[in-house]
Copies of this chain bind each other. A is one copy, B any other.
């Protein structure tokens, strides 16, 4: 299992949108995907489609009978997929994690079980998938104006991260960005305004300090700017209208939200209001983890599997 680190060369030419990202994962060749509690029709449909495209080789972990039922419900033929029997959710989570831990799978996906149950197994000190840093969620979406992907963190794992945690969240996002071929990533630390505003808005202080940390070279060649509101980060016209002089403003590639409500609402607005496609993965463990929601579209689920497969690294571990 090779971990996607900041110095790992990109797995493929830089994908400029989610369609190219899926294509890059296909070109890379299949990664072995352990699905914890795979007895869910929509999940199985996405996994079967990803297998069909050559993105993954699934290992379905869970109660065989219920998995077969769910496959029938989804209208999917899963005869060619390996099934690893696990009677209940906790066992399924532990077994799927163990597959990655032991090198028998490359990445992990949440099926029909609570995120907390899966994360308990991931964080198990003996058989889990802890790495040096924290776990965080990274979403990837097609940018509105320019022909590239934009990353958003953290819409799902870290609720109200303090300053030190934000450093780790950015570190994880940068590893992800570099794995996607983004060199010298441009990071916008989001807030509601572009200026330090204390004591009213503590998010602006964190953003200011993260920017200074970036200027000191802490994040390598990544360029970190903020505080910055979303329009200043994404729109060249609006950042110009606001008189911002940063190289990141209007051209951000990584958006760091101050809290989970901001990131989650932005994620949902991208899919529900803007109708753009999106992908997401939990990163920071020894392997990327696909944690889709029941409300995600089939395309989002497929995108997310492709993203996680691509983040596995260049070298299959088989």
Residues in A lying within 8 Å of B, measured CB to CB: 144, 155-156, 159, 190-192, 200-201, 203, 229-232, 234-235, 237-238, 241-242, 257-266, 268-276, 294-295
Which residues from chain B contact A231 at a C-beta distance below 8 Å? 268, 271-272, 295
What is the total number of copies of this protein in its complex?
2
Using CB atoms, name the residue of chain B closest to A274.
B274
Evaluate contact between B259 and A261: CB separation under 8 angstroms. yes
Can you list 26 A-B pairs with a CB-CB distance of less than 8 A? A144-B275, A156-B192, A159-B200, A190-B265, A192-B261, A192-B263, A192-B264, A203-B261, A229-B268, A230-B265, A230-B272, A230-B273, A231-B268, A231-B295, A232-B295, A237-B295, A241-B294, A241-B295, A259-B259, A259-B261, A261-B262, A265-B265, A266-B269, A269-B269, A269-B270, A273-B274
A209 to chain B, nearest CB (A): 16
Which residues from chain B contact A262 at a C-beta distance below 8 Å? 259, 261-262, 265
Which residues from chain B contact A190 at a C-beta distance below 8 Å? 261, 265
Evaluate contact between B272 and A238: CB separation under 8 angstroms. yes
Considering the chains assembled together, what is the distance between the CA atoms of A270 and B144 in angstroms? 11
Considering the chains assembled together, what is the distance between the CA atoms of A48 and B273 in angstroms? 32
Considering the chains assembled together, what is the distance between the CA atoms of A31 and B71 in angstroms? 63
Evaluate contact between A273 and B270: CB separation under 8 angstroms. yes
- Looking at A200, A258, A264, the one whose CB has the most chain B CB atoms below 10 A away is A264
Which residues from chain B contact A237 at a C-beta distance below 8 Å? 295
Task: Say which residue of B242, B257, B271, B272 sits within 8 Å of A261 (CB atoms).
Answer: B257
Considering the chains assembled together, what is the distance between the CA atoms of A237 and B296 in angstroms? 10
Task: Say which residue of B144, B192, B230, B274 sits within 8 Å of A260 (CB atoms).
Answer: B192
Considering the chains assembled together, what is the distance between the CA atoms of A25 and B46 in angstroms? 49
Which residues from chain B contact A229 at a C-beta distance below 8 Å? 264-265, 268
A254 to chain B, nearest CB (A): 15
Considering the chains assembled together, what is the distance between the CA atoms of A231 and B267 in angstroms? 9
